[in-house]
Amino acid sequence: MVAKIAFGNLENQTVQKNKWAAGDVVVTDMGAYQHYSVVSDRRCAAGKLMLISATQRNGTVREEPYDIVAGKRNTYVVQTENKRPVSEVLKLAREQIDSWKYCASSNNCEHFKNYVLGLEVTSRQVTAAVGGSIIGATVVASLANAPNTLKLFLGASLGAVIALYTAKATAKRVEDGPA
């Protein structure tokens, strides 16, 4: 049986979290965007799995229990390229704790994930939002009878939201995983 690993609430996550392995990349749906974290090889004092990620909430990278990072939001493992061994990924991630300076456009959670995995340090979400904004504003400018700042802003905003939605990561599929 092929099933998607997905978690909606903490009560259902206890057993399913055992399927997560150190170095896995998990995504938490935050509404309009997705938050990327790397699964740690450590557990907190309460026995909860830890995630390492860059957040605006902290302004840097932290290693925190999954429920602090994800809350009760849908969180799942994603298939992603990795050019480094897990031990190096975790070492690099921990080296950035309290050093990484968070910036939504240039040093966000997706940039961090790509950095520790040895990939090009970019963000599909930022690229999509910027591109979608430009396309949305251009469409409004070309089609509106009297384009004004508000119409251009709304077109750019709608374009960004649509583009962000299309840039979302999909869940990794595993054999005999939870339904």
3-class SS of residue 97: strand
CA 112, 118, 121, 123 dihedral sign is negative
Give the separation between CA 40 and CA 125, rounded to whole angstroms.
24
pLDDT at residue number 147? 85
pLDDT, position 141: 83
Question: Rounded distance, CA 54 to CA 110, Å?
Answer: 8
pLDDT score, position 164? 66
Confidence at residue 95, expressed as pLDDT on a 0 to 100 scale: 98
pLDDT tens-digit series, residues 49-85: 999 999 999 999 999 999 999 999 999 999 888 999 9
pLDDT for position 11: 36
SS3 string, 1-54, reads: CEEECCECCHHHHHHHHHHCCCCCEEEEECCCCEEEEEEEEEECCCCCEEEEEE
pLDDT at 140: 81
pLDDT at residue 75, rounded to an integer: 92
Tell me the pLDDT of the chain (179 aa) as tens digits.
223 334 343 333 333 445 799 999 999 998 878 999 999 999 999 999 999 999 999 999 999 999 999 999 999 999 888 999 999 999 999 999 999 999 988 999 999 999 999 999 988 777 766 677 778 778 888 888 888 888 878 877 777 777 667 777 766 644 332 22
Residue 125 confidence (pLDDT): 75
The model carries a pTM of 0.74
